[in-house]
Amino acid sequence: MVDMNTWFSIQQLYADYASALDSGQWDLWPEFFTEQCVYKLQPRENFERGFPLCTLLLTSKGMLKDRVYGIQETLYHDPYYQRHVVGAPMVRKVEDGRIHSEANYAVFRTKFDKESTVFNVGRYIDTIVQTPDGFKFAERLCVYDSEMIPNSIIYPI
Amino acid sequence: MREQAIHWETDGTSRVPFAVYTDEDRHKKELERFFYKNHWSYVGLEAEIPNAGDFKRTVVGERSVIMTRGNDGQIHVVENVCAHRGMQFCRERHGNKKEFVCPYHQWSYSLQGDLQGVPFRRGVRQDGKVNGGMPADFDPKDHGLTPLKVATRGGVVFASFDHAVESLEDYMGPTILQYFDRLFNGRKLVVLGYNRQRIPGNWKLMQENIKDPYHPGLLHTWFVTFGLWRADNKSELRMDAHHRHAAMVSTRGSAGQATGQAAQVTQVSSFKESMQLNDPSFLDIVPEPWWQMGDKMPTAVMMTLFPSVIFQQQVNSVSTRHIQPDGHGAFDFVWTHFGFEDDTPEMTERRLRQSNLFGPAGFVSADDGEVIEFSQQAFETKPEHRMLVELGGRDVGETDHMVTETLIRGMYAYWRKVMEA
């Protein structure tokens, strides 16, 4: 469906994304997306039952930047580390240069003085496009199995 | 019950002992007195079970219950405990069934919980004799699923284990009922979806969070900066006669810096004068006709219905928030966002975008869960201590401003009356 180089670039995009989010440098996050992007964090229950509600619904790169500002300046929270483990991407189809691919993910959370716990588990359902700056997410939908959010989700998945 | 002794420093409730949040036996007494007797609990929306045979599994207090729609269109709520060996047989969270069958011994029940079938009830005939079977006086009518009393209003479903409970309308009282009817005014509701979070704190803290108009303009930068909820907004605090339920009513003021005397409200560290949204569509607010109440047009009405639910209107975002206790130190908090049947696609989009402010990742709600967790952590370490809720005085009464903790004092006045009886 895609050639080796393309597949390698997709793999690299996923790895770079996970690495950026685990670094805690939140300003890096919006740069993985196009200007008109869609980022959704949605419970599997809503996704499968056709309910549109998301835990986070951001429909432009500007909104992602506003979320970053919220994380840094406005949302009071217990600080934590997060660690993403992302499975191999599965390319579902390529249409008009848009690559539709998916990957499983698990995010572990570690709070100060606490053990590491499984925080959020699910799959990414993505639309990736080529831009002058390389591959970017036109859409990233994070559909999570985790039935109960352990209190709150502050940082991006 | 052998709950730890509790010491109130005063006759009133302006100093709440930490021990009200830390004791498992006291928690069980609360379940008994607030969730299982004399009170109504929220179970869901009619829109969640539109068709005959539809069901939704949920809880009243800590007990598992099933809300169903019978073939006659009536809504029933039954306890999810098989009459035979007590198994919580219903594992799906929603679906459609003609009957309920407990897989353990295949006892079957109608949608309203009547026992219909008991395998081998009359024994098993073998070699000319009948082996076993239920006793001759076994009457299926005596062994249905425990039915709850059900009340619906405006598309919202409540249930009670106590069949002698007062009517839902009397339970809410006229003051709260008018705010309830404003939101649930008869239009069909449309479910937009759910968010579920587990908050490691005592369930009462969530009621208190929505009876505390002091914190939103301080903890929540978005509220103070964009004028959504601020101490200088035109507001009212209302209660029922028992002071157990409340409505916090507020009308959005100006965004940005306040001037003159009102400037105190924006001299707080959470106010971000220079904050500009890259994408203002988070706050694409369009007033709706139903907001109107007399000559007022509240932009936010936060209702606490004791003990189980919060009804939210924050501008165009409307939701129910179901409090589901699990022991004294944690509760599950289930958000059901909805819209109305006559919403345009643009209004639905707007409600969904504004929901970014609420829920477990919300710009103004995520930190509510966090502060509840950190409060509970402190309570556990020194239950002999107490908190202070004296803003606006030490008494209980309705106000035309939000610089007061009177609603929390009111809730604990009711709590003391019931728990000390």
Question: Nearest to residue B100, comparing CAs of B73, B139, B70, B122?
Answer: B70
- Contact in structure between B103 and B89 (CB atoms under 8 Å): yes
Hey, of A40, A48, A55, which one would you mutate to test binding to chain B, going by the most B CBs within 10 A of its CB? A55
φ and ψ of B218, to 5 deg: -120, -50
Distance from CA of B353 to the nearest CA of A (A): 6
Residue B327, both tokens: 């022991």
What's the mean per-residue pLDDT of chain A? 97
B61-113 per-position pLDDT tens digit:
999 999 999 999 999 999 999 999 999 999 999 999 999 999 999 999 999 99
* pLDDT of B4 above 80: no
The reply to whether residue A63 touches residue B282, judged by beta carbons under 8 angstroms, is: yes
Residue B247, both tokens: 């409505």
Structure confidence at residue B254 (pLDDT): 75
Residue of A nearest to B349 (CA): A52
Residue A64, both tokens: 């992602």
Structure confidence at residue B2 (pLDDT): 62
Count of CB atoms within 10 A of residue B131's CB?
Answer: 10
B239-277 per-position pLDDT tens digit:
999 999 999 999 988 777 777 877 887 788 778 887 888
Buried-state track B58-85, b at ≥16 Cβ within 10 A, e below 16? bbbbbbebbbbbeeeeebbbbbbbbbee
Split at pLDDT 50, 70, 90, the class of A30 is: very high
Percent with pLDDT over 90 in chain B: 87
Q: Give A-chain residues touching B371 at CB under 8 angstroms.
A: 76
The C-alpha atoms of residue B77 and residue B61 are separated, in whole angstroms, by 14
The reply to whether residue B369 touches residue A57, judged by beta carbons under 8 angstroms, is: no
Q: Give A-chain residues touching B337 at CB under 8 angstroms.
A: 53
Helix, coil or strand: residue A114: coil
Structure confidence at residue B352 (pLDDT): 97
The reply to whether residue B281 touches residue A63, judged by beta carbons under 8 angstroms, is: yes
What's the mean per-residue pLDDT of chain B? 95
Hey, of B224, B282, B373, which one would you mutate to test binding to chain A, going by the most A CBs within 10 A of its CB? B282
* pLDDT of B383 above 60: yes
The reply to whether residue A70 touches residue B281, judged by beta carbons under 8 angstroms, is: no
The reply to whether residue A51 touches residue B193, judged by beta carbons under 8 angstroms, is: yes
Q: Give A-chain residues touching B373 at CB under 8 angstroms.
A: 78, 151
Structure confidence at residue B5 (pLDDT): 78
A92-137 per-position pLDDT tens digit:
999 999 999 999 999 999 999 999 999 999 999 999 999 999 999 9
Nearest to A43 among B196, B369, B370 (CB): B196
Question: Nearest to residue A21, comparing CAs of A131, A100, A124?
Answer: A124
Percent with pLDDT over 70 in chain B: 99
Q: State pTM to two decimals.
A: 0.96
* pLDDT of A64 above 70: yes
- Please give the average per-residue pLDDT across B109-123, as a whole number: 96
Percent with pLDDT over 90 in chain A: 97
B326-344 per-position pLDDT tens digit:
999 999 999 999 999 999 9
Query: Which residue spans within A44-115 are E strands per DSSP?
Result: 56-58, 80-86, 90-95, 98-111
Percent with pLDDT over 70 in chain A: 100
